[in-house]
Amino acid sequence: MKKEEPAAVRSGYPGWSGHSWTWSELPSTGTKRHIIDLIISKLLFIVALFAILIVFFIIGFLLRDGYQIVLETGIWNFLAGVDWNPTGSPPSFGILPLIVGTLLVTALAMAIAVPLSMATAIYIAEIAGPRTKAVVKPAVELLAGIPSVVYGFFGLILLTDWIRILFDRPSGSSWLAGSILLAIMAIPTITSVAEDALSSVPREFREGSLALGATRWQTIRSVVVPGAVSGISAAVILGMGRAIGETMAVLMVTGNAAVIPDPITNVFSPVRTLTGTLGIEMGEVAFGSLHYHALFGVAVVLLAITLAVNGLARLIIRQMQRTPARSRAPGPLMQAVHGLIPGSLPHRAKRRIIHPKTTQKFAFLLISIGVVIVLAALGAILLEIIVNGAGAISLEFLTAPPSDLGRAGGIFPAIVGTLYLVAGALAVALPLGIATAIYLIEYTADTRLTRGIRAAVDLLNGTPSIVFGLFGFAFLVLFLNFGVSLIAGQITLGLMVLPTIIRTTEESLRSIPKSLREGSYALGASKWQTVWRVVLPPALPGIITGAILSIGRAAGETAPIMFTAVVFSNRYLPSSLFEPVMSLPYHLFILTTSVAGADDQKFGTALVLLVMVLSIYLIAILIRRRYNRATVINNG
Amino acid sequence: MTGKRLSGVTAVALAGILMVVLMAAGCLGSQPSGSPASPSQQITVTGSTTVLPIAEKAREAFEDLYPSTRVLVSGGGSSVGVRAVGEGTADIGMSSRDLKPEETGMYPGLVTHHIADDAVILIVHPDNSIESLTLDQVRGIYNGTYTNWNQVGGPDLDIVVVGRDSASGTREFFAEYVMNKEDFTKNQEEFNSNGGIQQKVSQTPGAIGYVGLGYTDGVKSLKIEVDGTPIEPTLENITSKKYPITRPLFMLTNGEPGGAVKEFLDFIMSEEGQQIVESADYIPVQG
C-alpha cells in the first residue's frame, strides 16, 4: 500500500518550534519530546474548549437581551401566538408563524438540494473522468462563492417574477421562491463535503465489489455511498446550517408576511422566517424596547431550533456509525436516510425484473440531469453578472474611491476592505479550527467532553450569520469597546467560518487510515511528530476544501459585518485594525436596496466580488491539484 | 515522491503566507491616486438609510472643503443611529423618526437637528390604470378591506400589498399618519428598504407600495386626493405642504455638538448643504 510512509517520518521537517528534526537527531531519552508533546496537547485542549466557550458567550448575550420578552408576554403566548405585530396597538409578539415559516422553507430547500447535491457529488467522485472532474468540482465550489446578497438580488428580480408568471399568481414572493434560492445556495456546501467523503472510501472496496461482478451503479449504491455515509450526513448538516442561517437572500424573496400558509402545503403563500425577521427588523428597532427584546427572543428560539435539528442529525449519524455499512437489515433511521439518496433503497433481488445495466443507465441519466441542473443554475447567474457587469469595469472603477453614493467613482476601498476582512477571518479561524480538529481526532477518545465540543461546533455551524453579527456588535463593538472596526468584523467572520473549518478538517483527518499512525509510532515517533508529519500531509486536501468554503462565505457575507465592521463609503484605506472599512458585499447590498439608479455599479461590484472569490478559489484549487498529483503516486 | 508530498505541505503554507503578505503589501503600497494624506480627525455618521444619501453626498463636498477632517458614513437604520450616538460609538446619528420614550429614557443627552423633510409616495405598477386614491382608500387597501383594484376604481386585479418592516421609521410614520394606528393586513409583504419595495412594485402588476421621494423610477406615483382634488407629489406641492404625507428627517448628537461635528452639521444647514439635500431628492428645510 504505502511503502514510502516511513520516509515521511525520516525526512527532516520543521515543526512549530522552528527546529528541524531529523531522524538521527531525535533525543534518545525522549524527555524533551515528551515535554513538547505534553505542551502541545495541553495547548490543543485549551483551543478546543474555545468552541464551547463561544457558544456559551453567544447564548449568554442573547439571553441577556431576550429574556424580558418572556416575562412580558409569557412563554406560551410568545412561542404559540399566531400574531406577529410588534408595532400594533397593543403590540403582539407571537412567533408561531415565523417558526413554521422557517421550518417549511428549510425543509423544502433540503428536499430540492440533497438529491441534486448527491447526484453532483456521485458524478464528480465516481463517474466523471479526470478532465471533467477538474472542471465540474471547482465550478460547484464556485457556486459557494456567490454572495447571498447577489442571490437575493437575482431572486427578487428574476425568480419571483418567473414564479408569478409561470404559475399565474398575483405575487411571486413565496415559500417556493425562498426554498429554491436556499437550495441553490446549499448545494455547493453539501456537494463539496459529500464528494470528499465519497472520494475517501478506500479503492479496495470498489475493486472488490466490481470483481464480484457488480455494475458500477451497484457498487456506488451498495458500497461507496454506505461507506461514506457519515461524511455525507456531515455534508447535509453543514448544508442545512447554511440554509437555516441564511438571512439576506431569504428576506428578499419570501415576501415576509407573517402568516402560516393556508393550506399548509400552499407553496405560493408568502412566509416569514425567523432569520428574515431579524434581518429586516433588527437594523431599525428601538434599542431597549420590547420589540428589541422580542427580536433577541427570536434569536434564542432560532438557536434552539438549530440545536434540535442538529441533535436529530447527530442521532442519525451515531445510529449509522453503529450499523456496519453493509448490514442486511437497515433500521428505520437508516431507511429514512437511504430515502434521501436516490435509488439507494435496498430492494429484494428475487423481484428484480430490470437488468442491472438498465438500472445503471437510468441512474446515471438521473445523475447527469442533476448535474446539468446545478451547472445551469451556476451558468445563468454567472452569465447575468458578467454580461451586465462588464460594462461597468474600468481602471477608474477598480482604483478610485466611490462618489455620489456609489453611482460614480470606483470601489477600490471596498476591494481592499474585503481582502482585509477575509484574510483576518482566516487568520482567526484556521489555526483555531485546525487545532480543535486535531485535538478531537488525534488526542482524545469519544468522551463526554469531546461530545460537548462537537455539539458546540454543530451549534455554531447552525448559528445564523445575522446572530453572529448581533453577538459581534454586543460583545466586540460595545462590551470590549472596539467600536465599529476592521478587527471586530474579522473576529466575527472568523467565528462564523470556524465550524466549517473544524468539520471539514475533522472529516479529512478521520479518513486517514489508522495503519499510517501505527506505522509511525512503531518507528518511535511521538504523538505530535506523527500528527505533524504523517497525518496532516495527506489530510491537506480536505483542510484546503474547508478553507475554500470559508473564503467563499467570509467574502460574501453581509449580515455579520453590517453592525460590526463596515461603513457605507470611505475615501481612505484603513490604517489600523480599529478603523471601519468598506466591503464589497455590503456595498452591493446598499446599492441594491438603497440607491436608485446605480445598476451598472451594482453589477460591476458583483462582478468584481465574483472575480476576486474566483481567483482565490483558483489559487487554492491549483495548490490542491498539485498536491493531489503528488499523493496519487503514493496511493497508487 | 515523498519529497514532493512534503514540499506540497510547505507550498501550501508558503502560498498562504504569501497571499496574506501580498494582500497587505498591495493594500499599503498603492494609495489611490489623488487621495490626500490621512486626515488628522474623523467623525462617524451612522443610522437611517433614508437619511444616508444626504450624509453621503454632504460628506464628499465637506471633505473637499475641510481636507483635514474625515467623515465615515454607514447605514443600518434609525435605531442603529440612535443607539450608536447614545452608546458613543458614533458622533452623529441619523433618524427618519422622532425619538421614542425608551430611547430618550436611556440616552437623555440626545439632541435632534432637523436637517430636511421627506415625502412618502404611494407607488403602483406603471401598467396600472389607477391615477389617484384618497387617504381612506389607501388605509382600506393596507388594512385588508379592499383586495381588488376594482373596489377603488382600478382594473379587475388582485391587490398585492407591499410595505416596510415593522421596525422601519418610514412604516411607523405611515402607520401613524395614514393608518391612524390601525393594524396592517397580515398578508402585507414586507421589505426592509425603499429599493426592495420599488423593485417589487415595478415588476408586479397588482402591487402597491410606499417609498421615499428618490425611489420612483420604473413605477407610477399616485396622486393623493385632498378634499376631492388629486395632488401630485411634485417638489412644489411637497414643499408647500399641499401634498399630505411629509415627515421630518433628523441628525442626532449626544449633547450640543462641537468641533468637527458642529462644522459638519453647520455645513448641512448652509445653503450649499441644503442644495445637496435637494439634489438627493429630499426637501430642504431652509427654502
**Residue A92: phi, psi to the nearest 5?**
-130, 140
Helix (H) or strand (E) holding A585: helix A584-594
> Could you say which DSSP state residue B212 is in?
-
Query: Cβ contact (<8 Å) for A596 and B186?
Result: no
State the pLDDT at residue B12.
Answer: 52
In eight-state DSSP terms, residue B3 is H
Task: Using CA coordinates, name the residue in chain B closest to A626.
Answer: B8
What's the whole-number mean pLDDT along residues B139-155? 93
A563 touches B at CB < 8 Å: yes
Instruction: List the beta bridge partners of residue B118.
Output: B247
Higher pLDDT, A481 or A365: A365
Evaluate whether A114 touches A121 at the Cβ level (below 8 Å): no
pLDDT top residue among A460 and A9: A460
C-alpha cell at A357: 445495466
Q: Is residue A334 within 8 Å of residue A319, measured between CB atoms?
A: yes
Q: Which chain B residue lies closest to A548 (C-alpha atoms)?
A: B16
Banded pLDDT at A75 (limits 50, 70, 90): confident
B109 neighbors B63 (Cβ within 8 angstroms): no
B67 touches chain A (CB under 8 A): no
- Which of the four pLDDT bands, split at 50, 70 and 90, describes residue A623? low
C-alpha dihedral sign at A21, A27, A30, A31: negative
C-alpha cell of residue A63: 439571553
Smallest Cα distance from A583 to chain B, Å: 11
Average pLDDT over residues A613-627: 70
Distance of alpha carbon A464 from alpha carbon A299, whole angstroms = 9
Give the separation between CA B208 and CA B206, rounded to whole angstroms.
7
What would the mean pLDDT of A582-600 be, rounded to a whole number? 80
Number of C-beta neighbours around residue A632 at 10 A: 11
Residue A289 CB partners (closer than 8 Å, separation 6+): B100, B102
Name residue, grid cell 398575483: A170
Which amino acid, A144?
A
State the number of CA atoms in the 13 A half-sphere of A258 facing the CB.
Answer: 27
How much is the pLDDT for B160?
A: 94
Amino acid identity for residue A530 in this structure:
T
Contact A256 B12 (CB under 8 A): no
- Give the predicted TM-score (pTM) of the model: 0.78
Quote the pLDDT of residue A342. 46
Judged by average pLDDT, the poorest of A46-50, A218-222, A253-257, A619-623 is A619-623
Q: Which whole-number Å values give the CA distances from A86 to A293, B8, B168, in the listed order?
A: 11, 57, 11
List pLDDT tens digits, range A227-278. 888 788 878 877 887 788 888 888 888 988 888 888 888 899 999 999 988 8
Q: CA angle, A367 as apex, A137 and A199 as ends, to 5°?
A: 45
Q: Answer whether A280 sits within 8 Å of B183, measured CB to CB.
A: no
C-alpha distances out from residue B251 to A136, A580, B2, B47, B261, Å: 52, 21, 66, 9, 11
Tell me whether residues A627 and B12 touch, CB distance under 8 A: yes
Q: For the segment B75-114, what is each residue's pLDDT rounded down to a tens digit?
A: 777 888 888 899 888 899 999 888 888 888 989 999 999 9
Q: Determine the average pLDDT of the residues in B21-36.
A: 42
**Chain A stretch 179-208, residues whose beta carbon is closer than 8 A to a beta carbon of chain B:** none
Give the integer Cα–Cα distance in Å for B265 and B113: 8
Average pLDDT of the segment spanning A618-628: 68
CB contact at 8 A, B233 and B243 = yes
Per-residue pLDDT reduced to its tens digit, B116-146: 998 999 999 999 999 999 999 999 999 999 9
Length of chain A: 636
On whether the CB atoms of residues A78 and A155 are closer than 8 A, the answer is no
Kindly state the average pLDDT of the residues A276-286: 79
Interface contact B32, partner A, CB < 8 A: yes
Res. B4: pLDDT tops 50: no
Tell me which residue of B199, B204, B120 sits closest to B161, measured CA to CA: B204
pLDDT at residue number A328 = 38
Residue A611: pLDDT band (50, 70, 90) is confident
Write down the residue that cell numbers 419595495 correspond to.
B197
Q: What is the pLDDT of residue B16?
A: 53
> At residue B117, what are phi and psi to the nearest 5 degrees?
-125, 155
Cα-based angle A361, A362, A366 (whole degrees, multiple of 5): 115
Residue entry with cell 403582539: A92
- Shortest distance between the Cα of B168 and any Cα of chain A, in A, equals 6
Question: What's the grid cell of residue B286?
Answer: 431652509
Selection from A13-27, A165-179, A447-461, A620-634 with the highest mean pLDDT? A165-179
Cβ count within 10 A of residue A204 = 10
Residues A7-62: pLDDT tens digits?
A: 333 333 333 333 444 444 444 456 777 888 888 888 888 888 888 888 888 888 88
In this predicted structure, the answer to whether residue A332 has a pLDDT above a threshold of 60 is: no
User: Are residues B168 and A284, on separate chains, in Cβ contact within 8 Å?
Assistant: yes
CA distance A59 to A571: 37
The whole-angstrom distance between A592's CA and the closest CA on chain B is 7
Among the ranges A261-265, A376-380, A430-434, A448-452, which has the highest mean pLDDT value? A430-434
Measuring CA to CA, how many Å separate A22 from each of A31, A415, A519, A520, A529? 17, 44, 17, 14, 11
Round to whole Å and give the CA distance between A134 and A116.
19
Contact status of B202 with chain A (Cβ, < 8 Å): no
pLDDT at A628: 63
Contact A571 B214 (CB under 8 A): no
Nearest in space to A589 (alpha carbons), one of A613, A611, A612, A561: A561
| Local confidence band at A629 (pLDDT 50, 70, 90 cut-offs) | low
C-alpha dist (Å) from residue A572 to A17, A418, A485, A586: 39, 14, 14, 17
- As given in the structure block, the three cell numbers for residue A160 are 419571483
Sign (positive or negative) of CA dihedral A480, A481, A487, A489: positive
Cα–Cα distance, A563 to A580 (Å, whole number): 11
- CB within 8 Å of A187: residues ≥ 6 apart: A113, A116, A117, A120, A140, A143, A239, A374, A377
Could you give the CA distance from residue A229 to residue A333 in angstroms, rounded to a whole number? Answer: 13
Whether A595 has its CB under 8 Å from any CB of chain B: the answer is: yes
Task: Map A308-369 to HEC letters.
Answer: HHHHHHHHHHHHHHHCCCCCCCCCHHHHHHHHHCCCCCCCCHHHCCCCHHHHHHHHHHHHHH
Q: Report the residue from A256, A413, A623 with minimal CB separation from B190.
A: A256
Using the 8-state DSSP alphabet, how is residue B126 labeled? T
With an 8 Å Cβ cutoff, are B8 and A477 in contact?
no
Whether the CB of B209 is below 8 Å from some CB of chain A: the reply is no
Tell me the pLDDT band of B19, cut-offs 50, 70 and 90.
low
Hey, how many other C-beta atoms are within 10 angstroms of the C-beta on A518? 11
Residue B125 contacts A where some CB pair is shorter than 8 Å: no
Determine whether the interchain pair A284/B1 forms a contact, defined as Cβ–Cβ distance below 8 Å: no
Greatest mean pLDDT range, A386-390, B29-33, B140-144? B140-144
Which chain A residues are Cβ-neighbours of B276 within 8 angstroms? Answer: none
Question: Measured between CA atoms, how close is B93 to chain A, in angstroms?
Answer: 12
The rounded distance, in Å, linking the Cα atoms of A332 and B212 is: 56
Closest to A517 measured CA to CA, from A504, A506, A529: A529
Would you say B140 and B146 are in contact if contact means Cβ atoms under 8 Å apart?
yes
Q: Tell me the backbone φ, ψ of residue B207, rounded to 5 degrees.
A: -85, 155
Three-state DSSP at A119 gives: helix
Q: Which of A252, A284, A589 to mutate to test the interface with B (most CBs of B within 10 A)?
A: A284
The pLDDT of residue A419 is above 70: yes
Instruction: Look over chain B and give the mean of its residue pLDDT values, rounded to a whole number.
Output: 83
| Closest residue in A to B158 (Cα–Cα) | A170
Residues ≥6 apart with Cβ < 8 Å to B165? A256, A280, A281, A284, B171, B190, B191, B192
**Grid coordinates 471596498 are at which residue?**
A414
Cell numbers linked to A492: 466575527
**What does the alpha-carbon distance between residue B21 and residue A431 come to, in Å, rounded to a whole number?**
17
pLDDT range class, residue B3, cuts 50, 70, 90:
very low
User: What is d(CA A491, CA A486) in angstroms, rounded to the nearest whole number?
Assistant: 9
- Quote the minimal CA–CA distance from B287 to chain A in Å: 23
Q: What pLDDT digit, counting tens, does each position of A461-495 carry?
A: 778 888 888 888 778 877 788 877 899 999 999 99
- At B147, is the pLDDT very low, low, confident or very high (cuts 50, 70, 90)? very high
Say which residues have a Cβ less than 8 Å from residue A349's Cβ, sequence separation at least 6.
none
For residues A608 and A398, what is the distance between their CA atoms, to the nearest angstrom? 9
pLDDT of residue B210: 94
- Are residues A595 and B53, on separate chains, in Cβ contact within 8 Å? yes
Q: Work out whether the CA dihedral A477, A481, A484, A486 comes out positive or negative.
A: negative
CB pairs under 8 A between A and B: 252
Q: Which of residues 149-178 of B touch A (CB under 8 A)?
A: 157-160, 165-169, 171-172, 175
Residue B15: pLDDT band with limits 50, 70, 90? low
Q: What per-residue confidence (pLDDT) applies to B29?
A: 39
H or E element at residue A424: helix A412-438
Report chain A's mean pLDDT, rounded to a whole number.
Answer: 80
Please indicate if any CB of chain A lies within 8 Å of the CB of B60: yes
pLDDT of residue A26: 46
Query: Among all residues of chain B, which has the CA nearest to that of A288?
Result: B102
Q: φ and ψ at B45, to 5 degrees?
A: -125, 130
Please report the pLDDT score of residue A620 as a whole number. Answer: 67
